[in-house]
Amino acid sequence: MKKASLLLLFLTLLSCASPRPSQQTPWPVRDREGNLRGYKLYLPPGEYRGLPLLVYFHGVVSEGFSRIPTLRGYTGSPVEETGLIEFCRRRRIALLAPEPLYAYSFLGVSAKGWLISKERDGVERIIDRVIEKAGLDGGEVYLAGISAGAAFCHHLAQGRPGRYKAILSHSQAYVDEGSRLLTPPRREKPYGVLFAYCDGDYPELIDFVVRSEALYRGSGYKTVVLKNLLPSGHRWSSPNNERFWRLLRRLGNPN
């Protein structure tokens, strides 16, 4: 009887234990279809309750890109390649990287990105679950993404405009799943939008960024656009992480 009581106490303590600084899906999340959703959570060492949260979304990823000359060097900028993990650790920011569930055909190869209509519910549940379980500051949540991940940030923010303080749209804009540019609705309390693109990025994506920033600004949103960042090409500009964070906080907390 005593051994059983000790085992029950151990299991109870284990279920209440805090997550490690880096952990794959520490708390289970299911979307409305019942699918288990994966994510990576990075917490700084020590006390993390009450910290701000940065949610990062990579671009489209596919092993098949190696067979396409124009995409041979493109990785989709997974979070491990952005420098954000170490940056957020140093700056004491909780970093969350949801993982896409649905595959689809992109340029003739099987790929995973962010199908807006299918992914949004699951991702919102991941964000809410992590904030609740880790005790993070639900009033200081920022979104950041590159390429398809950037477009997904816009749709998340437009779907719940009071949830996110500001978003970072890197190398893409507010577009629908058919890559048509969208005009943001006017908001009583618009969130901030930081646009950025690298030197030598795809011209059509640069055009989307420039035009979308003007549409947001014309609709009353607080915006900043950073142009021709390094490194060159269609990738996350990791040398600018400090600048990105400073501008996100300024856009999200203008007073």
Residues forming a β-bridge with 23 = 41
> Would you say 212 and 151 are in contact if contact means Cβ atoms under 8 Å apart?
no
20-252 classified as CATH 3.40.50.1820: yes
Tokens of 174: 């507010």
What confidence tens digit (pLDDT) does each residue in 221-242 have?
Answer: 999 999 999 999 999 999 999 9
Instruction: Flag the least confident range among 58-67, 153-162, 172-181.
Output: 58-67
The predicted model scores a pTM of: 0.91
Helix (H, G, I), strand (E, B) or coil at 192: strand
CB atoms under 10 Å from CB of 254, counted, come to 9
Residue 195 reports pLDDT greater than 90: yes
What confidence tens digit (pLDDT) does each residue in 44-82 have?
Answer: 999 999 999 999 999 999 999 888 887 878 899 999 999
Element at 143 (helix H, strand E)? strand 141-146
Residue by residue, DSSP assigns 20-76 as PSEEE-SS--B-TT--B--EEEE--SS--TT--EEEEE---B-GGGGGSGGGTT---
- Average pLDDT estimate for 174-192: 95
DSSP state at residue 119: H
Element at 9 (helix H, strand E)? helix 2-16
Please give the torsion angle defined by the CA atoms of residues 80, 83, 85 and 89, in that order, rounded to the nearest 10 degrees: 160
> Would you say 43 and 19 are in contact if contact means Cβ atoms under 8 Å apart?
yes
Residue 21 reports pLDDT greater than 80: no
